[in-house]
Structure 1
Amino acid sequence: MIVVTGGAGFIGSNLVHGLNAHDRDDIVVVDNLERGEKFFNIRDANIDQYLDQDEFLDWLVENGDDGVDAIFHLGASSDTTEWNGRYMMENNYAFSKGALDIAIAYQIPFIYASSAAVYGMGTDFKERIGKERPLNVYGYTKALFDRYVERQMQATDSQIAGLRYFNVYGPGETHKGRMASIAYHHYRQLHAGATVKLFGEYDGYSAGEQKRDFVYVDDVVSVNLWLLDHPQVSGVFNCGTGAAESFNEVANAVTRHFGYGGIEYIPFPDDLRGAYQSYTEADLNALRAAGYTGTFRSVSDGVADYMKWLDANAPASRQGG
């Protein structure tokens, strides 16, 4: 069987569907459905069982040597504005350590979600473990776990692979609220009026020209499935397109798809000052050197695919994915 923690969430639910497409339905989804609308993300998925996250570590101790082929650990609080350090460390760091330690004991391949948030305002996007400069508690929990992983890799031959996700967007993210992608927010804004909103001038960038590496969730799933098929590959790898594109490009891709709409620039919010990445771009050299040859959609192509999906699934997307 295959375990997917965070399996009802954004990337996790897309991975579950990706596994289904590869003829795997022996899937154990682990999540916290306190936000019950997330069930929309997996209501049509084929899974073997569901576990609450509070049950998972005990379940894994009891079942880890009974046919668990791999663990995809995607469960975490991804709120970059959450400053409750105790909660974030318990949920993102301590829980991840517990899951990894059990996986190592049973030699279960362990593929987990890290984040480009570890890089902070730096401009060197190489996977230099221990050189991270996160700007928020979320990024710190991810950087700290990456450092723990690096130490554990030296003591085991089983696969441990981390993916530092850049700005992922696509189906299944609507429950994320403020943390949903800018492409999704633009879709909602355009359907509520005639404009989409972007931050104005900030951090030396003109209005809307802050740049991120925006990566479509289907491409992220492809990297995860490749790692599953290549258990000899371990390491911490960036997962993005390798190209930074501006927020203006995202907005233009949305309005171009629908054939109408303009951009309204709004003042940069005070609560994000000093904790916001104005530029990210994945360095893919390590992932390519490991053997991954898959391609990644551009913003223009990925946003167009996403807008088509949102239009086709509008009632479900308004509820939770």
Structure 2
Amino acid sequence: MIVVTGGAGFIGSNIVHGLNAAGRDDIVIVDSLRHARKHLNLTSARFVDYFDKDEFLDALPGLEPLEAVFHQGACAVTTEQDGRYMMRTNYTFSRNLLHACLRRRIPFIYASSAAVYGVGNQPFREADNEKPLNIYGFSKLAFDQHVRDILPRSDSPVVGLRYFNVYGPRESHKGDMASVIYKMFTQHQSGEPVALFQGSENFLRDFIHVSDVVKVNLHFLETRKSGIYNCGTGLIRSFQELGELVARRLGGVGIKAIQMPPGLEKQYQRYTCSDNSTLRASGYALGFVSLDEGISSYIDVLEDNPS
């Protein structure tokens, strides 16, 4: 069996569907369905069991045999200001789950984030510029640091993947944390022009389609390597370019500039780009979906099923 925590969420549900496509149905999903509409992400998915996050650690010893855990569950609200909640959810739960897996030598592949990096203007390497701008990034870095400490003593693979700007199907439940592409689409559906922060021509990000994130995760399931790796394309595009691509795909809709909220300004990463040298050294040789292709195919999906 394979466990996917956060299995009803954005990246987790895509991993579930990716495993299904690879012929794996022996999947245990862990999540919290307090927001019930997340269940739509698992429409047509095949799995054998489901546990609520709060009951899973107690249930884990009874699950046999376990081949791997994909730990994708987290609080991903980057503007969250309750530091105790963030650390309990993203650090303490992750640490407890990791050590439960280590005791049974179960491979552990988990979601980290490019939010661990601070301000920069060069591609981020895994050990450099780790200066998170918000508590979300700090919670992810704290767990990465713990993993670095235990890796030399681990008898089973442990992999952290630092996701850059992920977009694609099954993110509609995320609200304010959904990708800019999804937000632009919903603005267009409401008859509004797509909105970009003022200065977006200078905000450069590494946008990666969720299908590529799934491929990277499955790569590490197969290779049984350990370590912390960036998970981005290694290419940057401005938010202005992204807005123009979306507007063009939607039929030349208008773009309006809006002011960045004052509370966001100090914790906003104006540049992210993945240095993929460590990922490539792990043997990952596949290419990445281009932003132009990814936006077009994603909007096709959204037009077929806007919810």
- Aligned residue in 2 for 1:239: 231
What is the distance in 2 between the residues matched to 1:208 and 1:191? 24
Tell whether the 8 Å contact from 1:122 to 1:133 is kept in structure 2 after alignment. no
Letter in 2 for 1:273: E
- Aligned residue in 1 for 2:62: 62
Per-residue CA deviations over 1:28-57 (Å, capped at 9, x if unaligned) read 000010011100001220010100001111
- Aligned residue in 2 for 1:204: none
- Aligned residue in 2 for 1:228: 221
Tell whether the 8 Å contact from 1:199 to 1:208 is kept in structure 2 after alignment. no
Aligned residues: 306
Matches for 1:33-72 after TM superposition, within 5 Å: 33-63=33-63, 66-72=64-70
What is the distance in 1 between the residues matched to 2:261 and 2:101? 42
Match for 2:212 among 219, 225, 244?
219
**Runs of 4+ displaced beyond 6 Å:** none
Letter in 1 for 2:182: Y
TM-score by length of 2: 0.97
Match for 2:294 among 296, 302, 307?
302
- Aligned residue in 1 for 2:127: 128
Task: Compute the displacement of 1:165 (Å).
Answer: 0.2
What is the distance in 2 between the residues matched to 1:289 and 1:255? 37
Task: Compute the displacement of 1:123 (Å).
Answer: 3.9
SS in 2 for 1:108: coil
Letter in 1 for 2:261: P
Letter in 2 for 1:294: L
- Aligned residue in 2 for 1:11: 11
TM-score by length of 1: 0.93
Per-residue CA deviations over 1:107-131 (Å, capped at 9, x if unaligned) read 00000000000002234510007x5
What is the distance in 1 between the residues matched to 2:240 and 2:202? 6
What is the distance in 2 between the residues matched to 1:98 and 1:295? 35
Gap regions ≥5 residues in structure 1: 202-206
What is the distance in 2 between the residues matched to 1:69 and 1:12? 17
Task: Compute the displacement of 1:62 (Å).
Answer: 3.1
What is the distance in 1 between the residues matched to 2:37 and 2:192? 28
Tell whether the 8 Å contact from 1:120 to 1:277 is kept in structure 2 after alignment. yes
SS in 1 for 2:160: strand
Tell whether the 8 Å contact from 1:208 to 1:265 is kept in structure 2 after alignment. no
Matches for 1:21-40 after TM superposition, within 5 Å: 21-40=21-40
Tell whether the 8 Å contact from 1:198 to 1:208 is kept in structure 2 after alignment. no
**Percent of residue pairs bearing the same amino acid type:** 50
Match for 2:240 among 230, 248, 251?
248
What is the distance in 1 between the residues matched to 2:6 and 2:121? 30
Letter in 2 for 1:11: I
- Aligned residue in 1 for 2:261: 269
Residue 210 of structure 1 pairs with residue 209 of structure 2: no
Task: Compute the displacement of 1:194 (Å).
Answer: 4.8
Letter in 2 for 1:221: V
What is the distance in 1 between the residues matched to 2:111 and 2:301? 25
What is the distance in 2 between the residues matched to 1:114 and 1:123? 21
Matches for 1:85-234 after TM superposition, within 5 Å: 85-123=83-121, 125-128=124-127, 132-201=130-199, 207-231=200-224, 233-234=225-226
What is the distance in 2 between the residues matched to 1:119 and 1:190? 32
